[in-house]
Structure 1
């Protein structure tokens, strides 16, 4: 079934949240896409000297979107050097809400986890592409309204980027370049949903990916905060309505709940609530890597275990002390954990990079 690669002796699944921060975390997890965002995080071609003399090169890359260009950043291990045919390219698919190609968000995230992951992979000889979601940031022209999206739409973009990567980095021997979609949080759901449509797939990587339908996860997040007790019945009814494919009258809700169910995102919530990640991974015929931080406030070890138990071929890494933005945090306190969301100076967790590299080494590119 699957291989365990435990990096933790004890399971530490942090569910405790401060009242102020819990609302923000739930909003982030629920994909409140902001159509007004247009500031690109594009990186022009540049070279960065890394320790040991290695030079990584970052280039702006474009792909075809529905109505305009999709944009992202290609990170190459070295300048002007051919990528060996057997070397895969990691395609980093971003998580929920207005998350840019670097892993940052105007909702309070400036940790840059995707940019740091790309740099860490380049140091070890692996190229990657990290992308802006359609309708946002550098991809703002791809569609008129960033809220008018579905998981399948995002899957279409993964297919477009796969074609672009293979065209940009062809093999010399006439084979097909291995493109490894790496989905973080909601991005993991996207790559699970699209995997059956991928041409010549070679594997999937899931970081901090929910193992249960997101309606179930939201109910749990709300119930985890005792202060939300008076709202739970009303919230449950709203979630159930969306799960049935019907819209919620936001004006009839208690004001505290309205930000979770604003009309602009209800169409997307109806779509995303319909997906069961465990059912999707059960149908997956590819080798899958599942990496879960043990101090993640938004997705927990239970979700990773559900995914691993449901998969036909999966490797599970439970990485101690790592939170949702892939940083090591030294405390179980929620305040310290959330502080890492806005600290770009914290390096990406080495355990996460090690897990990805071990998986890549086993992939037949």
Structure 2
């Protein structure tokens, strides 16, 4: 009996040891930006910085109470299990979303890039090379910061290949075609730099006046133009079950910079989960226990190494 207990304890400690063979440090970049530094190998002088997608999405890949995926946390753990160091952080939008008096209309897209530059400047004091991994909107943010000399590689996961007005127009045409005319009229004005006062209730969540300055600043940047400027190793990852960013977006990026590597993961959706049945796609946005796609970590590892 004692032998069985000993063997069980040995097996349990081995499993736990494997699942926790990394350290995690909490780092404050400034008063609003905080993140987790996963240390997979303290001797490794390279680090990846993960840049989250749009909205108040936190360092774990969640936007409570709307979305709970733990996608970023699971990816960071997977990479650190393989002796990689990675930093995930709460964007300033996450901190501001918790402040009742934070003015929403003061934020612009460039703020995200400035914050990422601040993070790069902080981490390059400790690491000699940096890989930027951007997801969705974060892929464009990372792209705009990738020319820093400390950044040696760039990874886009579900990143757009065209301006946000075109992306939004296509998404609305696909999911709510009855709203396309009104939304395209608004997007046309925003692209000219004009705000729009008269927004119908069904489009308020997307085009409410307080977010229009942000959209105006975002529309200015074309990912296909920006990626042409980048002369560093580039990996473009797309999932063929992505409901938000279709495969054409990755192709546009690859065409703009043919030196890039493009990989399509069969079954992966926008939040990195493997989808076998289409009806389970949206459900995965609120299931933080689902593992991420089995090929995502190996694909990134092969590129980083």
Question: Hey, what does 2:155 align to over in structure 1?
Answer: 205
Deviation at 1:295, TM superposition (A): 0.1
Q: Deviations over 1:208-253 (max 9, x none)?
A: 101111111111111113x532x3222111010001110011xx33
Q: Deviations over 1:58-79 (max 9, x none)?
A: 1111113xxx34210111126x
Question: Hey, what does 1:131 align to over in structure 2?
Answer: 89
Aligned to 2:281, the other structure's residue is in SS state helix
- Find 2:131's aligned residue among 155, 169, 180: 180
Question: Hey, what does 1:71 align to over in structure 2?
Answer: 34
Does residue 84 (structure 1) correspond to residue 84 (structure 2)? The answer is no
- Find 1:259's aligned residue among 201, 205, 215: 205
TM-score (norm 2): 0.89
Alpha-carbon distance between aligned partners in 1 of 2:96 and 2:26, rounded to the nearest angstrom: 10
Alpha-carbon distance between aligned partners in 1 of 2:168 and 2:102, rounded to the nearest angstrom: 28
Aligned to 2:124, the other structure's residue is in SS state helix
Question: Hey, what does 2:236 align to over in structure 1?
Answer: 290
Gaps of 5+ in 2: 1-13
> Contact (CA 8 Å) 2:50, 2:89: kept in 1 or not?
yes
Q: Deviations over 1:28-49 (max 9, x none)?
A: xxxxxxxxxxxxxxxxxxxx97
Alpha-carbon distance between aligned partners in 1 of 2:87 and 2:145, rounded to the nearest angstrom: 17
Question: Hey, what does 1:360 align to over in structure 2?
Answer: 304
Does residue 101 (structure 1) correspond to residue 59 (structure 2)? The answer is yes
Q: Deviations over 1:56-107 (max 9, x none)?
A: 211111113xxx34210111126xxx3234xx21101110011001110126
> Contact (CA 8 Å) 2:199, 2:208: kept in 1 or not?
no
> Contact (CA 8 Å) 1:71, 1:138: kept in 2 or not?
no
Alpha-carbon distance between aligned partners in 2 of 1:61 and 1:296, rounded to the nearest angstrom: 32
Does residue 346 (structure 1) correspond to residue 290 (structure 2)? The answer is yes
Mapping for residues 28-67 of structure 1, pairs under 5 Å: 50=16, 52=18, 55-64=21-30
Deviation at 1:355, TM superposition (A): 1.1
Equivalent pairs counted in the alignment come to: 291
Aligned to 1:298, the other structure's residue is in SS state coil
Gaps of 5+ in 1: 1-47, 171-176
Aligned to 1:183, the other structure's residue is in SS state strand
Which structure: greater helix fraction? 2
Runs of 4+ in 1 over 6 A off after TM superposition: 138-141
